[in-house]
Chains A and B, each alone.
Chain A
Amino acid sequence: MDWTTFGVWLAAVFTLGIISFLYRDNIFYKLCEAIFVGISAGYWLITFFWDNLYSKFYSQVTDPVDPQWTPWIGFVLGALMLTRLFEKIGWLSRWPLAFIIGATAGVYMMFYFVSNAMLQVSATILPIYTGSISGAISNLFIIVGTFCGLIYFFFSKEHKGAFGGAAKIGIWFLMATFGASFGYTVMSRMSLMLGRLDFLFGQWLGLIK
């Protein structure tokens, strides 16, 4: 038996082990889970080591043509992170955290404000009548839906009266959105299992073309 055949058998065993969880928790699943946790933790440790530490730090600062200095920022902050391992100076690890949290807050504030707010508002400002009745109805739905959906998210006003009515319509739109996303996802998720069944019955057992 060569390594590939052995690998396929092993993969089949693991596949069945995880599927067995659907029946109930059992020793077989528990072992697959343990292997999965161990293997994946190691996988990411290695990936981070080579992709980040080696490629983004070591290769950059030792580049014979154009050595960079900016990776040292990350290196110093990363080293401070490891002070967690020592009780006495563990508080130093808050510095890199503070750096990351500050930068994340600053960078993503703009990222989301532009893409999620400005551009979406821009896209919602539509002329109502564009030449066809059905187009007008569609545009109206988008405008009303976005409008009422936003009303629903108001925190500082009680949902009462006309305001409450709009919030209610907002919930209807949110529910339609959730239903549509859910329906669409059912399809997506079924395909995943198809991939595994294709592996089991095709690649492993060879029962399908």
Chain B
Amino acid sequence: MNIKEVIAVILIIAFFLCAYFLFPKPVEFSQTVSIILTILLALTLLVIGVMTFMGRYIERRVVFLFVGIALTLPFFMQFDLPVPISPEVQAAYDELEKLPEGSKVLAAFDYDPPSAPELQPMAVAFMKYAFQRGLKIIIMGLWPQGPQQADQAIQTAFEVIPELEDKIKYGRDYVNLGFQSGNEFVILRMGESFKAMFPTDIYNTPYDSIPILKNVKNYSNIDYCFNFSAGKPGTVEWVQGAVDRFNLKMSAGNTAVQAPMAYPYLQAGQLDGLMGGMAGGAEFEKLTEHYDKATVFIKSQSFAHAVVIVFIIIGNVAFFRGRRRKK
């Protein structure tokens, strides 16, 4: 460690301590400051581009730095971005709209806290929408932390619309069956019997004494399924195990990285609708008129995308420059 690095570390620690104890909260930039900062960011990138053109290449840590800045700044900025609705999100929403009040919807939460930034906004919007529409929700998870994420989503929905908390009763309007290990085999076995896989709910209430589960034996008693998936087991397993074998109707919210794999199923009609990543979340928030995290995050996301694209261009400048040299 050289002296510069020591100073940098001390400065970083000092910054965080100041931020914790001294800064006014929350910090918000005015519109002018926001614009100035955006222009500054753009100018620095331009300078890097020019330098690359002159033959001075940057190392990857510079890319890291700019991505970090692009992700952080919009948190504090004030501006709005339009969010157009893509057909697959619209389809998911339309299918939900078609369900009559009192329909039983199976909500499978197959993700954990690391993937929550992408999926939690969707889950919150979904829960809020379902409760307002009077859909009956049966929650389960193939990932150990999934059911807890569902609980969090419900809590957030109650915080957003306090009157829901009085209207919605556990056991009558929704139930959390908890986690069951066994991946796709759980899905298959639920085709015969839910109870075999979930003898009790998450609070150890026996399956048969939960009102909402009366007459729910297997998928044939479920009107719709919604899956929030961050990997395996997830949407692919649900499609293969439940949709293909038991004719369950289903839409899914996926992390953006999972989404491309789900597209073939969407195209083949095995999935009705699909919400991919933060953008899908923001679109769903717009459709359900619940503006929350995804709507905020999508701004940072846009900035970061722009920065990545600029760096791809800079990379190509470097590449073509190098090739001309060789010739």
Contacts and interface: CB of A to CB of B under 8 A. Distances in A.
Interface of A: 12, 16, 22-23, 26, 47, 51-52, 55-56, 111, 114-115, 119-120, 122-123, 142, 177, 180-181, 184-198, 201, 204-209
Interface string B19-62: 11001011100000000000000000000000000000000010
A143 to B, nearest CB: 12
A190 B64 CA distance: 12
A52 B185 CA distance: 14
The 5 closest A-B pairs by CB, nearest first: A195-B117, A188-B256, A123-B268, A188-B257, A115-B240
Contacts of A186: 305, 308
A187 B20 contact: no
- Give the bracket for the number of chain B residues in contact with chain A: 35 or more
B205 interface: no
A46 to B, nearest CB: 11
Nearest to A122: B268
B25 to A, nearest CB: 5
A51 B72 contact: no
Given A191-B278, A206-B20, A207-B75, 19 more contacts: A26-B1, A51-B181, A55-B181, A111-B184, A115-B236, A115-B240, A119-B244, A120-B264, A177-B260, A180-B260, A184-B256, A187-B278, A187-B279, A188-B118, A188-B277, A192-B115, A195-B114, A201-B72, A205-B20
24 contacts: A16-B12, A22-B61, A26-B1, A184-B277, A188-B118, A188-B256, A190-B67, A190-B301, A191-B278, A191-B297, A193-B68, A193-B71, A194-B300, A195-B114, A195-B117, A197-B72, A197-B300, A198-B75, A198-B293, A201-B75, A204-B20, A206-B20, A206-B26, A207-B27
A187 B240 contact: no
Given A47-B144, A205-B16, A208-B75, A192 B27 contact: no
A192 B277 contact: no
B267 interface: yes
Interface string B263-280: 010011010000011110
Contacts of B20: 204-206
Contact of B301 (A55, A184, A185, A194): A194
B99 interface: no
Interface string B171-182: 000000000010
B26 A208 contact: yes
Interface string B238-266: 01100010000000000111011000100
B257 A185 contact: yes
Contacts of B61: 22-23
A208 B268 contact: no
B25 A207 contact: yes
Q: Tell which of B12, B27, B256 has the most Cβ of chain A within 10 Å.
A: B256
Contacts of A208: 26-27, 75-76
Contacts of B216: none
